[in-house]
Amino acid sequence: MARKMHLVAYLKTGPTAMHAGGWRHPQARLDDILEPSRYVALAKRLEEARFDGCFFADLFGLYDIHGGGFDAYVRNGGQISFLDPMVVLPVMAAATSRLGLGATLSTTLFNPYHLARSLLSLDVLSKGRVAWNIVTSATDLEAQNFGLEGLPEKNARYDRADEVVEAIMKLWQSWDPDAFVLDKERGIFADPSKVHYANYAGEWVRTRGPLSIPQSAQGHPVLMQAGASERGREFAARWAEVVFAAQRGKAEMQAFYTDLKGRTERYGRTARDLAILVQTSCVIGETDSIAEERKAYLDSLVIDELSLASASSSLGVDMTRYDGSKPIEAAMGNQGMQGTADLIRQYSSAEKVDFRQAAKHGTTNTLVGSPKTVADQLEDLFISGACDGFILSPLVAPASYEEFCNSVVPELQRRGLFRTEYEGRTLREHLRS
């Protein structure tokens, strides 16, 4: 059977996503961002297009790094989570039956027992369709919302994350799949010999268990991750079933792909256990030139201050004060996302502009063209060892999803590159088919 690509949609509980001005576009809907109907309609449309799943990117706070406050971010419409995705996802689950549903939750800030409990509950209720986007968190402001002075050192965060996931995996196996007996006549509800303590004791994490929740249709939620640092890649190689990659050019994507897949073996896994999906945005038009015009119009809506504020947020560096005299990593310290730093650097060397100018440009891979042109580019990346599929990040929400589902998905299906029907029921089955 020919290899099929995987498609996952990047969502926010708000109007904005990857474009610093996309919310100003006439097709951007702002009236329903706090309405369940927005998220239900999106989920249904993505399921109709046979997407593997969708997930909410998230932040546990309001970015106030740029210029030392949240003014630039709030005034200009930065990426803000206006609702807790864990409250929105069940609504989407109830309206769909196949689409994968992901939440971003932090191993640094959240208690492992609580994480295990809420994620597995949703996985059971959705019949095995949940993904956990595991983050270690990248800002002090979030740490301060949870009573810490700042983030622990980056490698230590990943060490803790390993323990959190080890503990959670044990909690998720508290009940054997055949533990329920439900025999009214004999008066046996469940078999206690098939329920187990976790008894996990690590350096940072301790939890006893058992969790009072049985395994789900897919056993437990799918693990997803987006860290790009050396330690982040090791973590991904050990645990991740989906990696959200942010690399710019084909050569960089191929290098990342080969590197990460090559790391899986030492954790007793194979390259096939991990799907690497590249962040991609599209501007689509009936012809290439119409698409170019649309892109130009969209870019005319960019709010420069927000472009730079978004970079400040992702890097954990106030870019109003960064003069480029030291490497960005030195300015990032404990904060920030390596993937964003890599992307900006890749743009800076490709376009021969300095880091600050590159940061202003934004960090999204954007494909522009007719559905055929966009499909050609996706196909090329997919067949040339650059990725296993894509994380579609909207520039204008929800119009970007709508256009992609209406025009590019059928083109990919015609080429035999993407499923026309779901073969399985659970998210893990979608990812393995």
Q: Is 318 annotated as a binding residue?
A: no
Among 274, 337, 405, 431, binds ligand FMN (CB under 6 A): 337
Q: How far apart are CA 304 and CA 301, in angstroms?
A: 9
Q: Which of 41, 92, 228, 395 binds ligand FMN (CB under 6 A)?
A: 228
Task: Flag whether 373 is marked binding.
Answer: no
Q: Which residues between 106 and 165 bind ligand FMN (CB under 6 A)?
A: 135-138, 154
Whether residue 325 is annotated as binding a ligand: the answer is no
- The reply to whether 244 sits near ligand FMN by the rule CB under 6 A is yes
Residue 232 is a binding residue for ligand FMN (CB under 6 A): yes
Residue 159 CB, nearest approach to ligand FMN (Å): 13
Q: Is 158 annotated as a binding residue?
A: yes
Only segment of 189-197, 228-236, 285-293, 305-313 that touches ligand FMN (CB under 6 A): 228-236
Query: Footprint of ligand FMN on residues 51-110 (CB under 6 A)?
Result: 57-59, 104
How near is the Cβ of 173 to ligand FMN at its closest, in Å? 25
Least distance CB 212 / ligand FMN (angstroms): 28
339 binds ligand FMN (CB under 6 A): yes
Residues 266-305 that bind ligand FMN (CB under 6 A): 279
Q: How far is the CB of 301 from ligand FMN (least distance, A)?
A: 23
Binding residues for FMN: 58, 104, 158, 229
> Interface residues with ligand FMN (CB under 6 A)?
57-59, 104, 135-138, 154, 226-229, 232, 244, 246, 279, 337-340
